[in-house]
Each structure stands twice: as structure tokens, then as C-alpha cells.
A and B are shown apart, each in its own frame.
Chain A
Amino acid sequence: MIIDRIFREFISVVRENKRYTIGLLSDEGVVTSCSDESQIGRKLDLTWQDEHNIYYPVVVKQQNFGYLWINGSDENLEMMSSLIRESLVVRLTYEITENNLRQNFTQDDRLIKLILDEKEFDMDQILDLAHEMNLDRNKTRVAILLYDEKGFDEKRTMKMKLMPGGNESIVSLLDRTTVLCFKNVPADLPEEELKACVMKFLKTMKDLDIGGTACYVGSLQKKFKNYKSSYQHCLWLRENVPVKKEQIVFLSDYLYEFYFSRVPLQDVSNVYDYYKDCSKGIDIDELVRICDSLTQNNFNISQTAEELFLHKNTLVYKLKKYEDTFHIDIRGDFKGRVLFVLISSSLREYQKRRQVGEEL
């Protein structure tokens, strides 16, 4: 038991001072461990406290460790007893917290491994473990992926479990440079408040020297089976969004780009390549530039023309040309605009592939 190991250390210190004897008593008052071995097994009356014998109950984190007995004939007995007692309680608190942290961290690792398991996703196992960890399965959580090129160490990461609400977060060191945390957040928060909540959490982590060089925040989830998606959103952000040092990136700011990246552009090219090939002289780079600017300006022709330093009529002329080439209505029809953005994306891909020398 933890108390036996720690109390042995206390005994060896107290033995250096002949004025005091310390012992650990059971609830019944039987000496189980003592700096004076001849006292072991003796039964003491816990209700009989005098100027030579002081007893303190030792209860730490709701665990009962019996009684601490301090005996001495010194005038400082009371002060010394109090110091020894406080040191014992603090040390036990320290060791129990460390143990719990280590244990929780291992359980968090196991849970995250189960959640991310591609082949053998087992919901029953996940729920059993979550129950064992006293995790509230109905809490709203969001995946936060922290990346630090210098690397994290396990001790540093374990601190996250000590943060307020840390027992409801699930944290795991995925590899040397990456920490994944499913952070609990209040349900039904407006977008901006949610961001503020996550940023406050990350700032506290940074103050405590746990911040990474980049941080990606996925989607909100309420069901364990969807946590993996939130993690995958973080991975998508990491692969597709360039970040500055210590920048925090939220999926909610990149939903348009995220969904667009999911469209199979090959299907778009399969239809529109024919028209592109028929029309000679379409400047692909220019089309992509115009499309990007139109998207940013909500398809407002005047603003787009101004941004691109074009005369409005020149822009209209170019758009008409695209409309004729691809048989779509960019200026008047919502569906036509969506198709134009898709065509632009497929042509952007085409240009990229051509630039790296792929034969098309």
C-alpha cells in the first residue's frame, strides 16, 4: 500500500531524532507500523490524548489510512506533530494525485485508441470503459489536435487532466509531436462563445507550458461514435490550412473549403473537359482567378470587377464567354454559379497536375 512505503520514509527521518516516536494505527488503535518496532501490535486508546501522545485521523481524498500517533516529551511536541501530520497528508495527496493521473491517462489512451480504431470499432467496449472512467457520455465534446515540432512529453501532457473540467476531457499523446484531446464544452453555446471557451482553455494550457506550435479544432460531437469524425476534421485542417506559429484553426471557419474538398473533381472534369477542349483560348488561370473573386464578393459583378482591376463590361464579356463554353448561367442562376465554382476547382486541379508534369 502507498501509505506503507511513504510511512517508512517518515519513520527513517523521525528515527534520527530520539525525542519523538511516530506510529501508524489501525482504526481500532492497533500499532501497525512504528519508528519504535517494539510498539508494533500494541493497542492504544485513541480517546486518551495527553501531553505526550497525540493522535490524528489520516483521511486523504476520501481514503482512510487509520491514525497517526506521535509520542514525545518535548515542549515542541504539538508544533512538531502538526508539521509531521501536515507533511504526511500533503505527501499522500501528492502521491495519490500522481497515481490517479497516471491511471487516468492510461485509460484515456485506451479509450482514444478504441474510438479511433478503424477495423474493430466496438461501441460496447467504449461505453464500458467510459463508464469505468466515470465519463459523462452525454457531454458535448470537441476534438483539439495540438502539434508541437519540439515534441511533448507524457508528464507535460498529463497536466491537461489537472485543468478545470480535465476529468471530463479525454487526452492522449498520439505520437511524440501530437496530442489529441476531446475537450468537454458547454452544450448549445453560440459559435463565438464556443470559440472563446476553447481559446481560453488553450491560453491556460499555453500559460502552463502545454501549448503546441499549432492547434486544430474539429467539430462538436455528442456521441462517442462521431468523435472520430471530429478528429478527422482536425487532420483535414492540418493538411489543408496553412497556419502561422501558435495559430488556432477552427473547422467552423473552413466548412466551405472542407465540403468542396470532398467533391470528386474527376466527375466534374469528366463532363466539362469536352467543352474546355472544344473552346480554344480559355485562360484557365484567369478563369480560376475570376471565380475566386466572384465567390469572395458574393457574385457581385461590380465589386469583383473592381477587385480584379477590370472594367465591368470586360468582366461581363468574359463571364458570357464561360457561359457559352460550358452551357451554364453564371449571372442569373444559383445552380449555374455552383457549377461554375466546381468547374473552376476541377480546372485548378488540372493546372496543378499539368505544372508537376503529369501527362493529361
Chain B
Amino acid sequence: MSTRVMLARVDKRLLHATVALNWNQFIKVDYVAVVNSNYDNDPFIASVMQLCLPGTMKVKTLSPDSFLDFMQEGEEHSFTSRRVMVLFDSLATACECVEKGFYVKEIQLPSPASRLVIRTLSDYFSEEDIKRIRFIQKHNIKLFFQTSPFDAKDYGSFCK
């Protein structure tokens, strides 16, 4: 056993929103990996982010490269098992991680705030983001909308 990704989510509001939406109540994790190129290597920001949660859940603020190192580190310590929640600040970051070798079965995105029915992806995403979505899907990773733990997962919008 090594690192198990319990939830991978793209949310520009990062940890704050995710904790506020109670995901942490439902997903028992040892680490929360906040993957964001802006905050990497700033220990003060990392410490402030950690204050969101009690010390039992460790918050790691990582760039895509250091995130992959972190995941790799888990592989090496095969005697221990750790459960991780991964938060990407954008589809671009998630895409970069996938390009560099990160794999997970599915990635969650919060439902569009307007709750409008998405007929095509271009109703909600930019062209660049659609390319990123297709790239991620090509790597056998499913994408779905889900805001809170009680909402149903919406995979359908990403098949359009």
C-alpha cells in the first residue's frame, strides 16, 4: 500500500471552499495536497492554509512538479499507507500533472454556480479548457461535476 487519492478536485477556491463544503467530513484523509503553482515554496502561506484544519490532516501546498514528487515519495514508502485529497487550482494545473504522469480514476469539478443545463462544454468552458478536458479524458480519467457530497455525480456533461 502507498498513496491513495480519495478525492481529486479542480477548484480555484482551493482548500477553503472544499473544507467549507464539508468534504473533509466525508473523506478521511491524512494529507490535503493543494496543487497550485503560485504558492509553492512559501512556508508561511502553507502554514496559514494548514490553520484551516486541525493538525491531524496535513496540508501540503505544492507546485505540479513537487506534487508528483510527493506522490512518488508515497510509492517509495510502501510499508505505510496514506490517504490524500488533491485540490488543483485550475484545469491547466490538473492537465499539467496528468501530462507529467499523474493518474487517478476521476476528477471532480464543482457544478456551475448558475445550475444551467450544459448543452455543450463550450457553454461553460473556454476553448483552452475544453482541450485540457479532452486531454485528461484521453488518459482514461473521467471528469464529473459535483459540488457537495450529497449531490449526484454528473458525468454526462463531459460526454457532450
Contact = CB atoms under 8 A, between A and B. Distances in A.
Interface of A: 9-10, 13, 16-17, 80, 83-84, 86-88, 90-91, 93-95, 97, 159, 162-164, 204, 208-209
Nearest to B43: A16
A95 B51 CA distance: 12
Contact of A87 (B24, B48, B150): B48
B26 A208 contact: yes
7 contacts: A13-B51, A17-B44, A87-B52, A88-B51, A94-B52, A94-B53, A164-B150
Nearest to A79: B45
Residue among B19, B22, B47, B48 with the most chain A CB within 10 A? B48
A44 to B, nearest CB: 22
B149 interface: yes
Q: How many B residues touch the partner, as a band?
A: 20 to 34
Interface string B14-47: 0110011010111000000000000000001101
B48 A90 contact: no
Given A91-B53, A93-B20, A163-B150, 6 more contacts: A13-B51, A16-B47, A84-B48, A88-B51, A94-B24, A162-B22
Interface of chain B: mostly helix, strand, loop or mixed: helix
Contacts of A88: 51
Nearest to A156: B28
B49 interface: yes
B118 to A, nearest CB: 23
A204 B51 contact: no
A91 B26 contact: no
B149 A87 contact: no
A16 B25 CA distance: 30
A306 B26 CA distance: 54
B26 A159 contact: yes
Contacts of A97: 22, 25
Nearest to B28: A155
Contacts of A204: 150
